């Protein structure tokens, strides 16, 4: 059966339930493709062939015997390597954790296991989540599958690479200052940064505690919703977890957006690369054609986001890594070491000012959401850069350009859904993001699904493998 590797989970699930597709055969196909393409794409740091096939055989037996668990049952999934996996190496993308094998699972891993998901392996990432370029100086870059001379984006680099190259049906990521959305934009897939506390972060290797979120990647909004249905929920092991009643996030899919009020902060229109400006202008027009009311609004507090995000993230990351940095700072990749060193010299007064700015930005967002249903802006103001020789300098540049656009959602704790926006003049994906109010993931699924139906980018087997990743 052709092109199973690029089918959506929402398409595969009913086929698996009807026993038209075997979880074992599906898993074997993905493992074969990983074996074939991973040497070029460096997406998986650890491939779990034995474990994956055991899970697939178990899923198939359950389904054959009438114990179908739901849409993720028998679906192959790639896991970002900062999710702890019991008995399985978990590096956080950094060689300082090269031999670290946890004795517990992250809560999300347990949830995906209980839903019948198949763990294909652990995915490459920017070391310790401390970067936006995705170029790993310890284990090597997992390049952009649309053009392997270009960056994948970070920190969840291979979570997007694996999807765009057909090496997983679904993947997990984490987002501290844009790490689900930036790779999604650069690789033409979908990434969600959920409301802070909606998805447990218990069992994640932390980057910055008060900003970290865990969330799904997929090739469609419907698959994002399916993943979120499993990943979301209260966890007593996570002190920041929200104890709330959860909706079915698929319920708002395929609803029109006529009359929906979409606000475009003018701050997000400054300094855009020509291709991004053109694509974003077309996207606004398309949303208006779908019946939405799109208008520009002022949120001047967005100018505080870079300062607040940088100080908060660097300071909290430095606190977590303090003892290891004191022992041997040279064990960290240079780009990560620079960010952590910046955190160690930040003063308490700077951190407090950052939290004050954070509060003002949260208040400004709350006020904006009294006037509009969602906010809209480019995910990044730049097109996907080529991989530079000076990765450390490039990582800092990508952070500086991307931070004003992505970190506001982390600072305020609100959800943000990154969607493909189209292709730049050099044929590489670009993205935009819908930002919602607290716990408005359902509304984001609604507008994201309506946008997806306009088909801004078609990721498919022939396009990716034939044009960009030759078989031989």
- The DSSP call for residue 195 is P
pLDDT band of 307, cuts 50, 70, 90: very high
Indicate the Cα dihedral angle 80, 81, 82, 85, nearest 10°: 100
- Checking if the pLDDT of 198 tops 50, the result is yes
Query: What's the mean pLDDT when you consider all of the chain?
Result: 94
CATH code of the domain in which 307 resides: 3.90.1300.10
Q: Mean pLDDT, to the nearest integer, of 206-235?
A: 97
Residue 471 has a pLDDT of 45
- Checking if the pLDDT of 132 tops 50, the result is yes
pLDDT band of 82, cuts 50, 70, 90: very high
Residue 467 has a pLDDT of 42
Q: Backbone phi, then psi, for 418, in 5-degree steps? A: -90, 130
pLDDT band of 53, cuts 50, 70, 90: very high
- Checking if the pLDDT of 465 tops 80, the result is no
Residue 326 has a pLDDT of 84
| DSSP code per residue over 309-333 | HHHHHHHHHHHHTHHHHHHHGGGS-
- Checking if the pLDDT of 324 tops 90, the result is no
In the residue annotation, 424 being an active-site residue is answered as no
- 289 Cβ contact list (under 8 Å, min separation 6): none
Question: Is 66 inside any structural domain?
Answer: yes
**Which of 22, 132, 133, 179 is labelled catalytic?**
179
In the residue annotation, 155 being an active-site residue is answered as yes
Question: Is 422 inside any structural domain?
Answer: yes
Question: Is 329 inside any structural domain?
Answer: yes
Residue 2 has a pLDDT of 52
Question: Is 365 inside any structural domain?
Answer: yes
Percent over 90 (pLDDT), the chain: 88
Question: Is 57 buried (19+), middle (13-18) or exposed (0-12) by CB count in 10 A?
Answer: middle
Question: Is 30 inside any structural domain?
Answer: yes
Question: Is 232 inside any structural domain?
Answer: yes
In the residue annotation, 458 being an active-site residue is answered as no
Question: Is 152 inside any structural domain?
Answer: yes
pTM of the entire predicted model: 0.96
Question: Which residue range(s) make up the domain with 120?
Answer: 4-467
**Which of 155, 159, 187, 449 is labelled catalytic?**
155
**Domain tally, the chain:** 1
Question: Is 472 inside any structural domain?
Answer: no
């Amino acid at each position: 059966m052709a092109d199973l590797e690029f089918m959506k989970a929402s398409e595969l699930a009913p086929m698996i339930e009807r026993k038209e597709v075997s979880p074992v055969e599906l898993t074997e196909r993905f493992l074969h493709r990983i074996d074939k393409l991973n040497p070029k794409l460096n997406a998986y740091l650890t491939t779990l062939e034995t474990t994956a096939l055991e899970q697939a055989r178990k899923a198939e037996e359950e389904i054959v015997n009438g114990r179908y668990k739901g849409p993720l049952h028998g679906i192959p999934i790639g896991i970002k390597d900062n999710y702890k996996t019991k008995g399985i190496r978990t590096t956080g993308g950094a060689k300082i954790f090269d031999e670290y094998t946890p004795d517990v699972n992250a809560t999300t891993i347990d949830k995906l296991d209980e839903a019948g998901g198949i763990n294909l392996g652990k995915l490459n990432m920017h070391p310790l989540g401390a970067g936006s370029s995705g170029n790993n100086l310890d284990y090597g870059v997992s390049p952009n599958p649309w053009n392997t001379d270009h960056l994948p984006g970070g920190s969840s680099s291979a979570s997007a690479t694996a999807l765009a190259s057909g090496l997983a049906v679904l993947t997990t990521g984490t987002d501290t200052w844009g790490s689900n959305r930036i790779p999604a934009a650069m690789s033409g897939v979908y990434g969600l940064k959920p409301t802070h506390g909606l998805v447990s972060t218990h069992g994640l290797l932390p980057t910055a505690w008060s900003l970290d979120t865990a969330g799904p990647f997929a090739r469609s909004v419907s698959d994002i919703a399916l993943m979120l249905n499993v990943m979301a929920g209260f966890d007593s092991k996570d002190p920041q977890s929200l104890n709330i009643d959860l909706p079915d996030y698929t319920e708002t899919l395929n609803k029109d957006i006529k009359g929906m009020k979409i606000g475009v902060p003018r701050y997000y229109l400054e300094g855009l690369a020509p291709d991004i400006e053109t694509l974003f202008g077309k996207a606004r027009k398309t949303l208006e054609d779908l019946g939405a009311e799109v208008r520009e609004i002022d949120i001047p507090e967005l100018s505080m986001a870079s300062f607040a995000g940088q100080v908060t993230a660097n300071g909290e990351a430095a606190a977590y890594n303090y003892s290891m940095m004191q022992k041997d700072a040279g064990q960290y990749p240079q780009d990560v070491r620079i960010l952590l060193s910046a955190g160690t010299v930040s003063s308490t007064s700077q951190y407090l000012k950052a939290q004050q700015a954070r509060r003002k930005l949260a208040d400004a967002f709350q006020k904006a959401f009294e006037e509009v249903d969602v906010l809209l802006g480019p995910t990044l103001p730049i097109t996907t850069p080529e991989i530079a020789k000076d990765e450390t300098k490039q990582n800092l540049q990508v952070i500086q350009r991307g931070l004003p656009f992505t970190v506001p959602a982390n600072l305020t704790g609100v959800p943000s859904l990154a969607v493909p926006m189209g292709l730049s003049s050099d044929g590489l994906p670009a993205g935009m993001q819908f930002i919602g109010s607290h716990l408005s993931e359902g509304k984001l699924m609604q507008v994201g699904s309506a946008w997806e139906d306009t088909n801004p980018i078609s990721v498919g087997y022939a396009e990716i493998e034939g044009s960009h990743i030759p078989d031989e």
